[in-house]
Each structure stands twice: as structure tokens, then as C-alpha cells.
Amino acid sequence: MDDLLAGPADVAAGLAVHGADAVDRSARVALVAHDVPARLAAKDPTLWGPGAEAAARTRLGWLDTHCRSRELLPQLAELTAELGDLDHVVLAGPGGVTLAAEVIADCLGRPLTVLDTADPGPVRAALADRPTRTVLVLAGRDLDRTTDAHLRAFRQSWHDAGPEAARHVVVVTPPGSALEALADELGAVVIPTDPEADGHWSALTATGLVPAALAGAPVTELLDEAAALAGALDRVRDNPGLALGAAVGAAADDGRATVALVPDGTGLDGLRHWAGALLAAATGGRVLTVPAESPDAPGAVGPDVLTVGLGGALVAGVGPGVAADLAVNGPLGAQFLTWEYAAAIAAVTLRVDPFAEPAGTPGDDEAAPAGGPSSVDGAIEVYAPTGAPTDLAGALRWLTDGLDADEHLAVTAYLDRRVDATVAGLRPLLARAAGRPVTFGWGPRHPHHSDGRARHLQITGAVTDDLDVPGRPYTFAELQAAQAADDRRALAGRERPVLRLHLTERAAGVAQLLDTAGRTRT
């Protein structure tokens, strides 16, 4: 890593990308020959081909949304002052919408409660934490069933406690959306977000900035950092986004289609989750991203892996003796714009539409109940797919041993991210056993951009303290179970094998699962 950092770097506005030319210089040369840096900076919608042109015409606002977002600052200052006594900020919305704000708060050390799950545990905890001092931020275009359940639960809580509900709700949504119409009915504050920068591309819009600002994050600094970098976007040299995107795209074209994102110990650790989600979505699954726990974690390096270290310091290593192909270091606002630009560049190199919606995205409709378990082992019920062993250890070995050279394992946990957090330790254990990439995510946030080359492990858990959804004929646990079942049904429809493990007692089940996985070997 020290040799990498000693070599040439692309630097702008305090952000540096080291090692890009060592990965592949020819891709950057080809991009420059076609004037791609300047064309992208000028919002040329033809860069990704005729099939993507129509969508690209209305999806490139992220390139300069940091300028328009400055118009929000006076309103944010006024709103923050008005809600001064509401010091518990809760953000509710789909995972792809809430992730950027969560990363901002996490990286800058500000308290923000994020609800993108129907698991009753975190919902109950959020309801119990200073209910009369809570502001609920709803983000997205529509009110999906999960966010609807959150809103209903909080409105019931405020009704019971006495305060007016409208004052406690802030809605962040594009103009003309269904959520805006609902906000008008509620009498809630509405802050419009940029309609041309949505989903994972919305980090520097109201979607990312409003919840973070209400939580006390210095969002003006983020906009300043992005603005300082923006002048480099049309350059052919010292353009970090160009260097990063060209390297990622070229590596994927050359068979290194897994990008391991590792923290380098200098801060911004949570950024790898947002960057990974953006890059996977923008490349339509051509790039598999693995946010690894550390530089030496299983799956962080390998012959078909591009290892990228992320950090806040301009020059930093990722640890002694650890090989990293790229290092991306710099302030958070500049990081957001750099990764967005890099994702778009990688899509050009790979000849894919960066704004295409993934086909068959699982929804949250009701699903038919599954049959009984294949076996029960301690605190774990095993629901094995056809042809797989029915015992716990055998089923896990079947998952890890059966991966082809172009496959990976995707683990999704429909559990409580706080109380059941240790289950995330399953990822490196299974990666070590499989010798193939393993991803981990929390349902229903975890996207399935690469289902065509994945096996799936879904983990669900028993609920001992359920919570009614006010005004609806179901509970939060029933809603979560329906989401998990619909996820399995969607994957089965794509003929992807899914092993489901249900924890009948969560703490004991997690401990047992980690122990069993730790004894699984290739």
C-alpha cells in the first residue's frame, strides 16, 4: 500500500485517487479520446447509448445539485430553529433513499435514527425514545407499506402523548409526488428534493441533507467540498472521478468484477456502504460490491477482486502488509460527487445504462405462507431448497461449496440491525469457507442487482414483542414476514436457490449460526 500511495495520484479539492493507472490506463485514454470527461460534465445524455438517452436526459442533476441545494440552507436554518425542542430525529423511507443521510450522520458523528425496516424491535425503540421530542422525516416518492406503518405508529404515539402530529412530520420528496399530496393532507412541512437526482444519486440533495441537517450535521461544508471538486469534472488529468471510474470499469471488463470496499482507518467508514450500493446499481450488476469489515477480512483481496481503500485523510494506508489496488481519500462532500461521477464513467466503460431500474425488484405484497421446516437444529429452523441437505451444517456447506467461479453468495437478514448486529459476522466466515465473494445486508434494504450469478441465504427471526400497525389489519412482524416471503418468491421466480434459516430464539440462534459457520470449510 505504501508503494501505491507513493505513486502518481489524481488529486483535486483535497481528494485523491491513488493507483488508477496501475489498474488500467488504456480505459482512461479511450474515454479521453472520445471527450467523455467534458461530455459528462456537460450532461451529455448520449454517453450510454440510444437506449439510455431518454432516462439520462432527466437523471443527470447530481452533477450540479450541490449548487441548487444551497437554496435549501436558509429554509433548513429556519426549520432547525423552529423545531429546536425536537431533538430526536427519525428518518423513515426505503433503504436506497435513506442510506446517504445515514452515512452523513454516521461519518460526521451526529445522532440519526433510521427506520427502513418493519422489524418491531427498532420501531418500538424509536417510539419509546422521547416521543414528544421526535421529528419524523419521511423520504421518497410514495408511501410504501413500511413507511406507512411507521407514520401510523408515530401518529398514534403523538396522539396518545398530546402534541399536534403535523409539527412532528417533515416530508422530503420530489414535486408532484404522491408523498407530497399526503403531506399536504397532514399539514406537514414539505421540502422538495431534486427530481433529476434520485435514488442513490441523491446524496447532496434534500434527501440526504435535510435529515442530516436536522440531526446537527454541518451540511454547508458538504456542499462546499462538492463545489470545490466540481471544477475538476471536465479535466483529463487530476480528475479523481475519471480515474476511479475508468479503473473500476476496466477491471470489471477484464474479469475483476468484484470491488471490495475497505475502510483505511482514517474515518468515513460508513461511506463504503453507500458507494457500494451506488456502484452496483449504476453498473446493472456488472460490478459486485463487497463492503468488507477490514483490509484483511476474507474476500477483501483476491485475483478477481479490485480492492479499494476509502478514508477521510488525503494520504493514508489501509494497514501494513495489505495489498490495495486503489485508495480514495478526501472529504465527505467531495467523496459523494467523486463516486457518483465514477459510477457514471464505469457505466460508460461497461456500456450499460446507469439509470436502469433493476428488473423484478421484490415488493412488500402479501405472500402465501411457506411449508414447515426441513429440519430443526437447536434454535434454528432450516428451510432447505430442493436438492440441498436438510441439516444446518450440511445446508451451509452446500451453499459455500456449490458456488461456481462466476457466482457469489448474498446473505440477507430480516432482523434488528441493532440488537442482532453480530449476525453480520457471518459474512467473513462464509467468505473464508466459500473462497468466493459474500455480501451481507439487512432486509428489505439489501438489493439484488446480481441475482443472475448468486446463491442466497435469508435469515429471519421469531418476534416475542410484536407491535400493531394502527388502522391496518396486520402487525409489524406480519408485514416483515410478508416482505421476506415476497423476497424469496421473487428470487425463486428467477430460479435462484434460496436457503432460509429461521431463528426461533434470536440471540441463541445467532450464536449457533456463527459457531456452525465458523466450522464450515472449503
What are 356's three cell numbers? 436502469
pLDDT at 295: 85
pLDDT at 192: 95
Task: Tell me how crowded residue 385 is: count the other CB atoms within 10 A of its CB.
Answer: 18
Going from the C-alpha of 431 to that of each of 123, 318, 396, 518, the distances in angstroms are 31, 20, 12, 10
Q: Residue 350 class from Cβ within 10 Å (0-12 exposed, 13-18 middle, 19+ buried)?
A: buried
The dihedral region occupied by 369, where left means phi > 0, alpha psi between -120 and 50, and beta the remainder, is: beta
What is the distance of C-alpha 118 from the center of its chain?
A: 17
Rounded mean pLDDT, 114-134? 94
Rounded mean pLDDT, 62-82? 95
pLDDT at 24: 85
Distance CA 182, CA 190 (A): 10
Residue 221 pLDDT exceeds 60: yes
Contact yes or no for 193/173 (Cβ under 8 A)? yes
pLDDT at 49: 96
The phi and psi torsions of 290 (rounded to 5 degrees) equal -125, 100
pLDDT at 404: 87
Distance CA 102, CA 97 (A): 10
Percent of the chain with pLDDT over 90: 78
Distance CA 223, CA 66 (A): 5
Task: Tell me how crowded residue 280 is: count the other CB atoms within 10 A of its CB.
Answer: 24
Q: Which amino acid is it at 462?
A: A
Contact yes or no for 300/262 (Cβ under 8 A)? yes
Mean pLDDT over each residue of the chain, to the nearest integer: 90
Q: What is the pLDDT of residues 323-333, one digit of tens each?
A: 579 999 999 99
Structure pTM?
Answer: 0.93
pLDDT at 46: 98
Interior CA angle at 159 toward 153 and 164, to 5°? Answer: 110
Q: What is the pLDDT of residues 254-284, one digit of tens each?
A: 999 999 999 988 889 999 999 999 999 999 9
Residue 7 pLDDT exceeds 90: no
Task: Tell me how crowded residue 490 is: count the other CB atoms within 10 A of its CB.
Answer: 18
* Bridge-based pairing state of the strands 169-173 and 189-192: parallel
More confident residue, 51 or 364: 51
